[in-house]
Amino acid sequence: MEAVLNYFDFSQPSFYYALANILFNPIFWNIAARAEYKSHILTKLAGGNAYRGCAALAFSIFSLGILRDYLFKIALQFQPIHPLLEIDAVKAVAIVLFLTGNILVLSSMWALGFTGTYLGDYFGILMDARVTGFPFNVCEDPMYTGSTLTFLATALWYASPAGLLLTSVVHVVYRVALRYEGPFTAMIYANKDKKQ
């Protein structure tokens, strides 16, 4: 066990900054989106315009995502590396995972559009129908899966066991978020169908 712990430096504050941001982001956007759905607080702050409210939330989600990615990369730079992760085969796997992850994220953003990507349904900006084409025909949650793959790729590229640990936290946090988001979004669209 001690040999394993040699590949983690838990004394580094950068590890905890990255961890805190990984945990905070989905909690933030879920709380903000539900507050919008229940009270239209963001729409009201945006002068009654749901699209501007959605854009403000999108800006905050995107900015927090950039910060999270930056903190993750910084955290890895201060962590020990594992020699088995430094081999060329692992680097090749990291490249494939990075490309796959980004394809899933970017193609899902394209398929959903701006408001679909950034929780527009909580603002009452609903899509006509559920998106079922690529990449949603490959996996049910391509944005979260793609993001997780990108974290995994980065951890492997930097040969960082701590990065693998943080990636597992990303995966768990996204799975928990989906347990809240999925049923809530389904309820929003079920209510839409009842009104028609």
Give residue-wise pLDDT tens across range 51-90. Answer: 999 999 999 999 999 999 999 999 999 999 999 999 999 9
Do residues 97 and 152 touch, judged by C-beta distance below 8 A? yes
pTM of the model: 0.92
**Mean pLDDT, all residues of the chain:** 93
pLDDT on residue 2: 59
Token pair 């590229």 in the structure block, residue: 157
pLDDT on residue 196: 56
**Alpha carbons 93 and 156: distance in angstroms, whole number:** 8
% residues pLDDT > 70 (the chain):
96
pLDDT on residue 186: 82
Do residues 71 and 8 touch, judged by C-beta distance below 8 A? no
- 3 state SS of 128: coil
CA end-to-end span of the chain, whole Å?
60
**Alpha carbons 94 and 176: distance in angstroms, whole number:** 25
Token pair 């900015």 in the structure block, residue: 63
Distance of CA 103 to the CA centre of its chain: 14
- Examine the pLDDT at 132 and tell me if it is beyond 90: no
**Alpha carbons 91 and 158: distance in angstroms, whole number:** 9
